[in-house]
């Protein structure tokens, strides 16, 4: 049997909930999960508490722990925060981005182009995350990075889900090309506008999967 650390259990359960492998309202039983992960009930109990703090499960006294998951309202909130935070990051990054960081964006974009042509949404999603992380770093704001880091798992999940919708891969590539050009021209206002539009387009796309 494979054994898991507390952190591995947390990440696995969190991702499974985000991927809707558990239905909304489904009960998560400590004893069953402990057996599944090959651990005692103590780390499972700690993981369930953390997932409750994340808002992904709900503990009801004398009844148990139940999956809440991600609602349509949650998605709208995640994207509203993303739109404003990433727009701000783009505005600041356009003024401060180094030649090395611009080169990184160009290299990531080239790989995105390659994998978009192959229709590989998984690889594009990873590269997409890298592209945006270069922008966050270039913005040089530790507080912005803290906020975005705390949201990162939800942003990655939403990004990946959106890219799997037919037609989104090519559209997202074109949006990133325009964003890259804005950074090359060091046009902060345009970079901010394009990133906010990009995030909003991703939100609209993901909504199609939640109907």
pLDDT by residue, tens only, the chain of 211 residues: 457 899 999 989 998 998 889 989 999 999 999 999 999 999 999 999 999 988 899 999 989 999 998 888 888 888 899 899 999 999 999 999 999 999 999 999 999 999 999 999 889 989 998 999 999 999 999 899 888 877 877 887 877 778 878 888 999 999 999 999 999 999 999 999 999 999 999 888 877 766 5
Which segments of the chain belong to CATH 1.20.120.530? 72-209
According to the 3-state scheme, what is the secondary structure of 108-141?
Answer: HHHHHHHHHHHCCHHHHHHHHHHHHHHHHHHCCC
Which segments of the chain belong to CATH 1.10.10.10? 6-67
What architecture is domain 6-67? Orthogonal Bundle (1.10)
> The CATH number of 72-209 is which of 2.60.40.10, 1.10.10.10, 1.20.120.530, 1.10.10.60?
1.20.120.530
């Amino acid at each position: 049997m494979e054994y898991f650390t507390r952190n591995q259990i947390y990440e696995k359960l969190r991702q499974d909930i985000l991927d809707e492998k558990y239905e909304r309202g489904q009960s998560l039983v400590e004893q069953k999960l402990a057996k599944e992960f090959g651990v005692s009930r103590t780390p499972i109990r700690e993981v369930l508490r953390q997932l409750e703090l994340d808002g992904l499960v709900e503990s009801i006294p004398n009844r148990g722990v139940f999956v809440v998951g991600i609602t349509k309202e949650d998605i709208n909130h995640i994207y509203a925060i993303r739109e404003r935070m990433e727009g701000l990051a783009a505005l600041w990054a356009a003024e401060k981005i180094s030649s090395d960081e611009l080169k990184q964006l160009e290299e990531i974009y080239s790989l995105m182009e390659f994998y978009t042509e192959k229709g590989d949404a998984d690889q594009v999603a990873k590269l997409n995350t890298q592209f945006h992380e270069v922008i966050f770093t270039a913005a040089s704001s530790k507080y912005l990075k803290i906020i975005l880091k705390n949201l990162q798992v939800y942003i990655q999940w939403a990004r990946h889900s959106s890219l799997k919708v037919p037609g989104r891969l090519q559209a997202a590539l074109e949006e990133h090309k325009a964003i890259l050009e804005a950074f090359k021209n060091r046009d902060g206002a345009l970079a901010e506008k394009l990133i906010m539009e990009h995030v909003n387009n991703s939100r609209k796309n993901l909504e199609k999967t939640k109907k």
